[in-house]
A and B are shown apart, each in its own frame.
Chain A
Amino acid sequence: MKHTGNIGKPKRYGMVIDLDKCTGCGTCMVACMAENNVPFKKDESNKLDSITWLRVYRLTNGKPYPDNEVCYLPRPCQHCAGKHEGHSPCVSVCPATATDYDQETGIVSQIYTRCFGCRYCMAACPYHARYFNWWDPVWPKGMEKALNPNVSARMRGIVEKCSFCFHRYQKAMEKAHMEGRRELEEDEYQTACTQACPAGAITFGDLNNPEHKVHQIAQPDPAKGGRPRNPKVFRLLEELETNPKVYYLSSREWVQEACHKPHLLDQKTAHH
């Protein structure tokens, strides 16, 4: 057998985003919107109601000219495991079981048809990764042709968020099963943002699989709720013990520090 990695055991899909490489170009956001049929309105400048499963934040060190520094931080859903697998902040509060933690992949799902829009999950999510559809989506005439059939379009009154392109996982698994396999190669399942990033700043794979790059970079410590052993790698708001599956890498100390501040991603103060 070729693999010595994570065979037959549950996967924990996650990513490491290299903030040293990220240039803030926003291609990941576009790729995500195109892949996932994310709607757009004529005015998207009110970022409180602008749906972006993946949002690139602009962090600064707050120092005056000329010592000012800027770092971009792409924020998808963090797919938190919580203190025990499945204890994600959003999953715990959803009264409709519209969001769930998949024990096979570690992916936090969002089932649009179950969601009735109470938005408890949005209140619970410390990363502001969830978005509410205040309006029905409208595509300009002709543009609905570009919709992806693998992701259903949403409607007003429900919450949506990043799914780590779960439909791509399903497609890859289908293909593997057709070929008599039960395991995926690392490159068979990649998210749209990972694929599109011209900087190669996003690495995606199974955190439980020592053969996967994402494991090798983050070096998660299962005994400590997945905390990274790589000193340059960190997670957002680690203190909350949400055990997210999105790791960040930065060589700049102020960036690492900023990512522990509770108001980091506050919609009113952060620039996008």
Chain B
Amino acid sequence: MKIDRRSFLALSVGGTVGTALTPLPWKIQDDLAIWTQMWPWTPDPLDGENTFTHTVSTLCRGGCGVTVRKVGDRVVKIEGREDYPTNQGGVCNLCASGMQMLYGPTRIPHPIKRVGDRGAGQWARISWEEALSMVAEQLGEIRQAGQPETVACLSSRKYGSVAELLKRFLTAYGSPNFMVTPSMMDAYDMTLKRMHGVDGRMGFDLENADYVLSFGSGLIEGWGNTAYMIHTNSVWKERKATVKQIEPRLSNTAAKSDQWIPVTPGTEAILALGIAYVIIKESLYDYDFVNNFSTGFEEFRSAVLSGYSPGNVAKQTGVDQSTIVTLAREFARARRPMALCGRGQGTVPGGLGESVAVHALNALVGNINRPGGVWAMPRPAVDGWAAPALDASAQAGLAKPRLDGAGSAAFPFAEQLFNRVPEALATGSPYPLKALFVYEANPLFSTPGAAKVREAFDQIPFIVSFASHMDETAMAADLILPNHAHLERWEDVPDTSGFHQPMIGLVQPVVEPIRDTMHTGDALLRLAAALGGTMAASMPWENYKACLQEGLASRWSQLEADGFWIDNRYRPDTWSLAFPTPSGKFDFGVAGSDLKALFAPAQPEGDDGSYNLKLIPYDSVRIPNGPVGSPPFLVKIVSDTVLKGNDLFVEVNPETAKAAGFVEGDHAVLKTPLGSATVRVHLSDGLMPGLVAIPRGLGHTAFDGYLAEKGINANDLIGSVEDAASGLDAAWGILASLVKA
């Protein structure tokens, strides 16, 4: 058939008209539209009554007040509580992801006991009765054998009724070994004790400070209370306060500060002393405070003037002389200057010398117990309980030295030194451990030199974990008595983040427990009852809530009504009353210690010349680094310059990378005296040359496919370094090499 112009036109016009008239295409399109809208495989969340409940989130260290939105009985959203004194409506990324921690598949659904090899992940479900009687039997036997001191407990919390209950349990049982995971607050507590003579904790009147000198503190990256610190940072911006950040890496805190001052890692204390030198030499210090309210200034002055001239300090720290002089003058002339320490999120305490050197700056300018300054605060106490009853075997056990050496002649001021436990267990001195309780801590992942901790844990025959989620330490346990999730339980959370007003938040159950779990407080009460005698008498409460209520005594009614208790009229003592040292004055001499030795920087292991770089860990606000592993939302917001697939990137200065022949994204082997790992290289202009920076908090082996095996654990490559003066972990990093993979 021949197609001429006429027939072609007829055909196309006819076709068009025909198509327009027939219902077929419209019908098909309509069907298609309907078909594509039927998605039976996507979930259709049920609607229901909306309720909003206040509680306190315990996922991060901050303890922020949150408002939980529920639809029916489902938790769908966690928001900052507007009228909460610290976070004031804001919330941190981890606590905002709390629903995933509640409902996630890594929850431990019921009590389980190990049936295969340790860590093999073979478990058998057991009943609560069976689980508790297993523990009671073991503990009974150990006590019968007269070795109650060989039972220890590791908790991530030092204060609050659950921590106090754990401690009380051990005390009544006869063990001095209640331990808390280390933090910068250990160094601060010790500094407070030695310089102020106060058995308390440090508080920081941050919002009123107008000049902040931060020695590596990740002020907006999880140091203290994350949400409150970020809020404070905004207050500083509004009030035009100055923030100077001293650290080797351009962290978020450094990026948001008024000036980033890169410093050779580990020399922060030296820089602080260099600044002190200028303040003393130029007589910029507060005469009233130093002359009338301090002692030991002469020793401090001569120690500083003999070794820390700006020229000397500049050589060691890499900070220009002129910068040191400027910082000192600015600091001393500011109205409310404040010097802070605790690297990153403060999970490693740092040496006592560092904390003392930095705090001495606050003292030199007299900004102690004053508005905008550093305050001595009372310790949060659960004071409504009667003293525990101690039988003869408890008294004998308590008379034994602590496993970690805290409080001994070598470390008289230390309260806990968990970093010393691996060594003690490896040598079996002073004694081996027979049983360990782990409460909301994940030491096998989050302790520097994690491999040594794993070896140490192998020496403990009976490990009981109270974990809610299957983390690395729970994996290595023999028995798990899962605690309620944070949204399912009662608990008091005293502020320990450095807030300048005594405060307690109340965790209240938002939902009924969705698994067969038990509050750790209740589990302890039942264990004590099973053990009988003075144990039962020391823990007589019917349930944890009754014990909580009694412990908080007069504060309970306000806690119950408002969800928090705050003493907002708290003011620290004036200088004449503030220092219960023997002299009644602030002690620059640090209780007569050898200042030169105190200020000596920590020496990392493995200085054998084969390592040409220094590896420093860094904390990211997007990567939780404590007992809680990242929920999926948080893994999702990790940058692709930190994690790509399962590959972890380390940061290297482009100059250093070029010298070693690396370009962006190269695979490399990162080696330290502790081990080696394959990483990828990310070039960063925000890092001092000669360094490698690795994020902490990745490289989990436990949890599920949303977190496990992603990246490597910095704690496998970086160990701890014992500070001779305090026993605390003073490590700033480690020597390392980076070679092509």
Could you tell me which A residues sit within 8 Å of B by CB distance?
20-21, 23-27, 29-31, 33-35, 37, 40, 42-47, 50, 52, 56, 58, 60, 62-66, 68-72, 113-114, 116, 136-137, 139-149, 152-155, 157, 192, 195-201, 271-272
Contact = CB atoms under 8 A, between A and B. Distances in A.
15 contacts: A26-B621, A26-B634, A40-B636, A45-B638, A63-B685, A64-B654, A68-B684, A70-B686, A140-B632, A144-B45, A148-B77, A195-B80, A198-B87, A198-B91, A200-B234
Contact of A60 (B37, B80, B639, B685): B685
Contact of A34 (B92, B252, B633): B633
Nearest to A267: B640
Given A23-B252, A149-B45, A271-B639, A45 B645 contact: yes
Smallest CB-CB A-B distances: 5 pairs: A198-B90, A146-B99, A68-B685, A147-B45, A70-B255
Contacts of A149: 45-48, 71, 76
A62 B686 CA distance: 10
A224 B244 CA distance: 40
Interface string B629-672: 00011111111110111000000011100000000000000000
B725 interface: no
B291 interface: no
B306 interface: no
B93 A25 contact: yes
A211 to B, nearest CB: 21
Q: Which of B252, B641, B655 neighbours the largest number of chain A CB atoms within 10 Å of its CB?
A: B252
Contacts of A155: 39, 41-42
B568 interface: no
Contacts of A272: 639-640
Contact of B220 (A23, A37, A43): A23
Interface stretch (B200-208, B223-231, B282-290, B409-417): B223-231
Q: Which of A21, A23, A56, A139 neighbours the largest number of chain B CB atoms within 10 Å of its CB?
A: A23
B488 to A, nearest CB: 13
Given A23-B220, A65-B653, A65-B655, A139 B636 contact: no
Contact of A24 (B100, B252, B688, B705): B252
A63 B250 CA distance: 13
Nearest to A65: B685
Contacts of B93: 25-27, 29-30
Nearest to A62: B685
A23 B640 contact: no
A20 to B, nearest CB: 6
B686 A196 contact: no
B80 A136 contact: no
A60 B39 CA distance: 43
Contacts of A65: 262, 653-655, 685-689
A40 B686 contact: no
B80 A143 contact: no
Nearest to A153: B42
A141 B105 contact: yes
What is the predominant secondary structure among interface residues of chain A facing chain B?
A: loop
Contacts of A20: 237
Contacts of B262: 65-66
Nearest to A61: B685
A136 B226 CA distance: 34
Interface in B254-284: 255-256, 260, 262
B243 to A, nearest CB: 12
Interface string B13-49: 0000000000000000000010011010111111110
Given A149-B48, A196-B80, A198-B92, A25 B104 contact: no
B644 A45 contact: yes
A128 B103 CA distance: 32
Given A40-B633, A40-B636, A116-B36, 9 more contacts: A29-B636, A31-B79, A33-B633, A45-B643, A65-B688, A145-B74, A196-B80, A196-B90, A199-B230
A43 B645 contact: yes
Contacts of B87: 198
A110 to B, nearest CB: 15
A146 B44 CA distance: 11
B470 interface: no
B45 A196 contact: no
A92 to B, nearest CB: 22
Contacts of B76: 34, 146-149
Contacts of A25: 92-93, 220-221, 226, 230, 252, 621-622
B89 interface: yes
A31 B634 CA distance: 11
A25 B102 CA distance: 22
A12 to B, nearest CB: 25
A25 B219 CA distance: 12
B237 A271 contact: no
Contacts of B33: 114
A112 to B, nearest CB: 9
Contacts of B255: 24, 69-72
Interface in B36-90: 36-37, 39, 41-48, 71, 74-80, 87, 89-90
A43 B654 CA distance: 28
Contacts of B632: 40, 140, 143
Contacts of A56: 637
B650 to A, nearest CB: 15
Interface string B678-692: 000000111111000
Nearest to A27: B93
Q: Which of B46, B220, B685, B704 neighbours the largest number of chain A CB atoms within 10 Å of its CB?
A: B685
Contact of A153 (B37, B43, B46, B252): B43
Contacts of A52: 636-637
B46 to A, nearest CB: 6
A171 to B, nearest CB: 9
Contact of A35 (B77, B252, B634, B644): B77
A140 B44 CA distance: 15
B508 interface: no
A95 to B, nearest CB: 12
B634 A23 contact: no
A21 B234 contact: yes
A18 to B, nearest CB: 8
B226 A34 contact: no
A220 B573 CA distance: 51
Contacts of B42: 136-137, 152-155
A187 B92 CA distance: 21
Contacts of B80: 195-196, 198
B238 to A, nearest CB: 9
A113 B231 contact: no
Contacts of B641: 271
